[in-house]
Amino acid sequence: MLAAAVAVIPPLALLAAVHGVALLQRAHARARGTHLVATAMTAPIAAGAFWLAYTALRALAVTAGSRPGKHGCAP
C-alpha cells in the first residue's frame, strides 16, 4: 500500500510540471528564460516518472510469471 502511494508521486509531479509549462506558454511570459528553465526542469521529472513506471511494470510482469529477457522483458 505504501509503495503504491509513493509510486503515484512522480506521475503527479510530471502532470503538474507539464501543466505549469503550458500555463507559462499560454500566458505569453515575457521572460523566455523562465519558460526554458521550467521546460528544463520538467525533463528530469519526465525521465524519473518513465523509469519508475518501467521498473514497476517490469516487476509486475516478472511477478506474473514472465521471465526476464523473454517477450520483451529486458533484464
Max distance between CA atoms of the chain, in angstroms, equals 54
The predicted-structure confidence for 22-53, as pLDDT tens digits, reads as follows: 887 777 756 677 778 888 888 888 888 888 87
Q: What is the mean pLDDT of the chain?
A: 76
Task: Give percent above pLDDT 90 in the chain.
Answer: 0
Q: How far is CA 68 from CA 5, 56, 65, in A?
A: 26, 14, 9
pLDDT band at 3 (very low <50, low <70, confident <90, very high): low
- Which residues, other chains included, contact 11 with Cβ-Cβ below 8 Å and sequence gap of 6+? 49, 52, 53
